[in-house]
Structure 1
Amino acid sequence: MKALVVAAVSAALLAGCAQSVPGRAGESSRLDPLKVAGLAITTGDSGPRPGAPAAGREARNSDGGAIDRLATSAVADIEGYWASQFPDRFDLDFEPVRQLVSYDSRGPNLRLCGTDTQGLVNAFYCSGEDVVAWDRGELLPSFDAISAVAVLAHEMGHAVQFRLGAGGNAPSIVKEQQADCYAGNYFRWVAEGNSERFQLSTGPGLNQILTTLFAIRDSAGSAFDAQGAHGTAFDRVTAFGFGFAEDPQRCARIDLEEIGKRSTQDVFDEQDGDIGFGVGNLRVDDRQALLDLKNSLAAAFPGSRVAWNGTCATTSPASYCAGGSVGIDLQALVRVGRIGDFAAFGAVASRYAVAVQESMGLSVEGVVAGQRTACLTGLWASTIVRSRKAPLELSPGDLDEAVVELLSRDSLIAGDARGTTIPSGFARVEAFRDGFLTGSAESCTTRYR
C-alpha cells in the first residue's frame, strides 16, 4: 500500500472498481458458506487413491521412481477427464499427448523443444512436439502430491488449448489463465469423486492447490501483458475458481479484454519507493498511515458509525468490540505487517466490517458473518485502487498478501466477531473477490446472509 502524496497518479489498476463478477452478472442469490461452488466443504485426504489403477502411460527418460509414477498417473487421469469432456463441450475427440518426458534438472542435460533441461526447474507443455515434461529432481518433489498434480493439470491445460486451436499468438497471460481455469475444471471433477486415481477435499486439499498457485505467481510489480506473464496470485486463483465453478467453455472464453477488466496486476511507479519494509509497503504503525486507513474505511462505508480504541482484545492484531468499536494492538499489527502492509490493514478493515454489519442489524457471529466480513473487506479494497486516487492506495502485490491471509488456517479477514472462520480458503477468497469485483455492500449482504 502507499499514501498518495501527489495529485497525478497512475490509474491503470482497474478500468473501474465497480465491476460485475464475470459469469455472475446481476446474480444476488444466497450462497451457502458451508459449500465451495455448490460442493460441501470436506476435510478428508487429498492425493492418490489407495489401490488406484496403473497409469497406462510411460515417460521417456524416467527413473521409474515415485515422482514419475505420480506424474504419469496424473497425466493419465487428466487425459481421462478431457476425453469425457471434449465431445460434449466442444464436439471434438480428445487426443492424448504424444509424449511424456521426465528429467532431472540436477543431472545430465536433455534437449527438449529447443530448451536445455540442466538447471531447468520447471514443468512445461511444448505444442510443437506435443510434449508434457517435468523436472523430477527438484520441482515436483518440492510439492505435496495433490499440488504436483495441480502443476501437471495446468500444463495439460495448455494441451487443451492446442487441441482447440486457441494457443497460437495469444498473449502469455491469456494462455496461462486459461490453463489455470482448465485445471480448475479437472479438480472439480476430482472433488466430485469421479476420478479413479485421485481424491480431493474441498477444505485443506483445495487450500493447498491455491497455495501452489500463490507460490508460482508473477512477482509484484510485473506487467500483466509482459511476455511470459502468468498473473498475480489473486488473478490466478480467480481463473482457477472460474474453472472449478463453471464448465470448460467458460475457460475458453477468457481473453485479453476480460483479463484487462479484472486484472489486479500493475507495475510499481515512482511513488512506490522502498520505505523500510520493501517496495510498496508502508510502516503500519505510522500515524498518518493509520489515519488514512481509518478515513478510507469511513469513506467505503458512509453512514456507518464505528468508534475506535475498543479494549476487548478478542482477536489479534485487531478486535471488534460489542457496541460497534474497533481496537488495534499496535505491536501485533507491526508483526503482521512484516508479511505486508495489506495483511495488517486488511485485518483491521475486517474488524471494521464486523462493526458495519452490527450497525446494519446483521448477525456478527457464525460462518455467514465471516464470509460477509471477507466480502465487505474486499469491497473496502476496491475503494482504494489507484484509479480512485484515495489517500491510501493499493500497491502491486497487496492483493496477493490478501490471498496469503485468506488461505491461512485462522484467517481474520474471513472471521466473524470472534475470529471464527470456515476451513475452505477457496470460499474465503471467493467472498473477498465478490466484494472486490462488485464494489457493492448490497451484494455482500444479499449473497451472504
Structure 2
Amino acid sequence: MTLRRRRAASLIGSALVAAALLGGCARAVSGTGDAARWNATTVGGLEITNGASGPRPGVPDSPLAVVGGDGGELDRLARNAVDDVQRYWRDELPATFGRRFEPVVRLVSYDSRGPDTTVCGTGTAGAVNAFYCRADDSVAWDRGQLLPVLDDSFGPMAVVAVLAHEVGHAVQSRLGTADGRSIVREQQADCYAGSVLRWVAEGNAPHFQLATGPGLNQILATLFFIRDAAGTGFDAQGAHGNAFDRVSAFQFGFGEGPARCARMDEAEVRRRITQPASGQASSLDAGAGNLRVDDRDALRALEQTLRAAFDRPDAAAPTVDPSPPPCAEVRGTAPASYCPQTNTVGLDVAELARIGTPPEQGTGGGLGDFAAFAEVASRYALAVQHAAGYPLTGLATAQRTACLTGVWAATIMAGRGAVLQLSPGDLDEAVAEMLRPRSLIAADVNGAGIPSGFARVEAFRDGFTGGRTTQCLQEYR
C-alpha cells in the first residue's frame, strides 16, 4: 500500500501485502456501468437511518438443515442468513430473469481449527473461508475462525453479506454464467450481494434488519477487510478485487439491482477495474517502501501533483504551509486545513506522518501514505472550489471535495508520468479513510462530513473515473 514518487529514473514505493481471509470462494470441481446516484442525505433513494442492524428480535429461526454444524450461535446466524438470501432470490430470479430459483442442496459448517475433514474435495484444516461448491451445489462456511472474526469486527451483518456473496455464485450456476475469469464472477457476486442487502435495508428480510447509515458503512468495511492482497493481479485465479473495486460492484447491485449485475462481463470489468494485471506492478515495486509522509521531498512532490491537477492561470494557487498562522474564519481540521482568508493549506506534519504509517508498521491507527496525502489533497480541493466561487460549507461542498480528491488521484495513476504514482493498495487506503467517522476526504472546510460512507465513495469514484474538475463542480451543488 504505497504512493510512489519518482526520483531521477527510479520509482520509490512498493506494495505491502495485506492479508485477506477470503482467498477464493467459489469452488468448482473438475469433472462434475454507472452506479445509482448516492447523495448526501439518502442512500440509493433510501433515507439514511441510524437504527439497529443485525438479527430481528423474537423471530423464529430458519428450519434449514446444516451438515457438520455444532448448533451454536454462529451456525444459527449463518443458517438464518442463507434462508433470507434465498427468500430474496425465490422472488427475484423469476421476476428479473424469468427463471425459477432452486435452493442450494446443502449447507455445510466446519471448524478450520478442528480435525481435517473434506468439503468440496478440499481439506478444511486452516481453510478460513466461505464458499459455494458447484460440484454438490452447497454453501459452506468456517465457524471456527472466519465467522467469529467477521461478527466480532464488523457485526452480524458482515456474515450476511459474505453469505449473500456465496449464494450469488449459486445464482450464477442457475443462470449458466458461472464460468469465465475469476474477477468477473467475484465482482458479479459482490453485485448480487448488494442487491440482497438493498432488500434487507428496505425491511423485507424475515430474520435481519439493516440501517442505511452505520450499518451499511460496516458492510463497506467488511469488503475492505476481505479485499485481495495488494499486488494481486485482477487476472489471477481466485481474484476478487481490491476494496475500491469490491465496494463499487456492491454499490451497483444495491443501487440498480440484479439486472445490472448480470451485465457484468469481462469487457465491463476491464473498463472499470483499478486492480492491475499480474506483473504490471511488480516491476515498479522493486526495492521500494511506503513513503515517509513527513519527508520534505515527498511533500514537495505532493504539492507538484496538486498544482498539475488543479492550478489555473486565472486563479492564485494556495500556499501549502507546515506552520500555518491561525485562521479565524474556519474551524481547524487536523491533520490538514484550508484557510480561505489567506488561501493557505496548513499541515500538521506529525499527525500526517501518523496517518501515513501503515498499520503493520505502527500502533497509532495509521492507514498508509496515500490516505495521508489524500487528506491534504482534499484541503487543496477546497481552494479550487473557493477560486471558482463555490461555498465551502455544507454537504454539497463535502461531496465536491471527495470528487475533486478523486480527480487528483486519477492524475497520479501509474504510467501517467506524475512525480508521485499510485501503487497497489493505495485506493484501498482511500476507502479506509472515507469509512472513518471524521473523514477529511469527504468533508467541508470545517470538517463536517457526509454521513453515508456510500455517498463518500461514490463521489470520490465519480472524480476518479471522470477525471474532470468541471464535472465535480457542476454535479454536486
* TM-score when normalising by structure 1: 0.92
1:124 counterpart SS class: strand
Name 2:336's counterpart in structure 1: 318
Match of 1:334 among 353, 369, 372: 353
- Indicate yes or no: 2:57 matched with 1:55: no
- Indicate yes or no: 2:203 matched with 1:201: no
Distance in 2 (CA, whole Å) between partners of 1:286 and 1:308 is 14
Distance in 1 (CA, whole Å) between partners of 2:235 and 2:334 is 38
Structure 1 residue 295, shift from structure 2 partner: 1.4
Match for 1:434: what amino acid?
D
Distance in 2 (CA, whole Å) between partners of 1:325 and 1:154 is 46
Distance in 2 (CA, whole Å) between partners of 1:300 and 1:312 is 27
For the Cα contact (< 8 Å) 1:31–1:448, is it kept in 2?
no
For the Cα contact (< 8 Å) 1:312–1:319, is it kept in 2?
no
For the Cα contact (< 8 Å) 2:356–2:368, is it kept in 1?
yes
Match of 2:103 among 80, 85, 96: 96
Match of 1:225 among 235, 242, 246: 235
Structure 1 residue 23, shift from structure 2 partner: 2.7
Structure 1 residue 47, shift from structure 2 partner: 0.5
CA spacing shift, 1:119–1:269, aligned 2, 3 Å: closer
Match for 1:428: what amino acid?
R
Distance in 1 (CA, whole Å) between partners of 2:335 and 2:273 is 29
Name 1:4's counterpart in structure 2: 6
Cα deviation, 1:184-205, whole Å, max 9, x if unaligned, reads: 0000111111112111111111
For the Cα contact (< 8 Å) 1:61–1:103, is it kept in 2?
yes
Distance in 1 (CA, whole Å) between partners of 2:469 and 2:48 is 26
Name 1:32's counterpart in structure 2: 39
Distance in 2 (CA, whole Å) between partners of 1:112 and 1:261 is 36
Structure 1 unaligned spans of 5+: 10-21
For the Cα contact (< 8 Å) 1:374–1:413, is it kept in 2?
yes
Match of 2:249 among 239, 244, 258: 239
Distance in 1 (CA, whole Å) between partners of 2:287 and 2:251 is 33
Name 1:424's counterpart in structure 2: 452
Distance in 2 (CA, whole Å) between partners of 1:42 and 1:273 is 46
**Percentage identity across paired residues of the two chains:** 57
Name 2:401's counterpart in structure 1: 373
CA spacing shift, 1:32–1:400, aligned 2, 3 Å: closer
Structure 1 residue 7, shift from structure 2 partner: 6.3
Match for 1:253: what amino acid?
R
Match of 2:189 among 172, 179, 195: 179
Segments of 4+ moved more than 3 angstroms:
5-9
Match for 2:51: what amino acid?
G
Distance in 2 (CA, whole Å) between partners of 1:385 and 1:7 is 17
For the Cα contact (< 8 Å) 2:38–2:458, is it kept in 1?
no
Match of 2:275 among 265, 277, 281: 265
Name 1:19's counterpart in structure 2: none
Residues 21-420 of structure 1 aligned to structure 2 (within 5 Å): 22-23=33-34, 32-143=39-150, 144-168=155-179, 170-266=180-276, 267-275=280-288, 279=289, 281-303=290-312, 304-305=315-316, 306-309=318-321, 310-312=324-326, 314-323=332-341, 324-338=343-357, 339-420=367-448
Structure 2 unaligned spans of 5+: 12-32, 358-366
For the Cα contact (< 8 Å) 2:442–2:449, is it kept in 1?
yes
Structure 1 residue 52, shift from structure 2 partner: 2.1
| Structure 1 stretch displaced more, 287-296 or 156-165 | 287-296
Structure 1 residue 312, shift from structure 2 partner: 3.5
CA spacing shift, 1:385–1:84, aligned 2, 3 Å: same
Match for 2:89: what amino acid?
W
Structure 1 residue 322, shift from structure 2 partner: 2.3
Cα deviation, 1:296-340, whole Å, max 9, x if unaligned, reads: 111111314222224347011111112232111111111111021
Distance in 2 (CA, whole Å) between partners of 1:65 and 1:80 is 23
Match for 2:214: what amino acid?
P
Cα deviation, 1:179-228, whole Å, max 9, x if unaligned, reads: 10000000011111111211111111111111111111111111110111
| Structure 1 stretch displaced more, 379-388 or 281-290 | 281-290
Distance in 2 (CA, whole Å) between partners of 1:5 and 1:308 is 21
* TM-score when normalising by structure 2: 0.87
Distance in 1 (CA, whole Å) between partners of 2:259 and 2:244 is 22
Structure 1 residue 442, shift from structure 2 partner: 2.3
Distance in 1 (CA, whole Å) between partners of 2:296 and 2:417 is 20
1:102 counterpart SS class: strand
Distance in 1 (CA, whole Å) between partners of 2:469 and 2:45 is 23
For the Cα contact (< 8 Å) 1:82–1:94, is it kept in 2?
yes
Name 2:475's counterpart in structure 1: 447
Distance in 1 (CA, whole Å) between partners of 2:195 and 2:184 is 16
Cα deviation, 1:350-399, whole Å, max 9, x if unaligned, reads: 00011111111111111221111111100110111113111111111100
| Structure 1 stretch displaced more, 398-407 or 355-364 | 355-364
2:227 counterpart SS class: coil
- The two structures, once aligned, show a CA RMSD in angstroms of 1.7
Structure 1 residue 109, shift from structure 2 partner: 2.4
For the Cα contact (< 8 Å) 2:38–2:454, is it kept in 1?
no
Cα deviation, 1:19-49, whole Å, max 9, x if unaligned, reads: xxx236xx9xx86311112111111110111
Match for 2:461: what amino acid?
R
For the Cα contact (< 8 Å) 1:231–1:265, is it kept in 2?
yes
Match for 2:443: what amino acid?
G
2:198 counterpart SS class: helix
Number of aligned pairs? 428
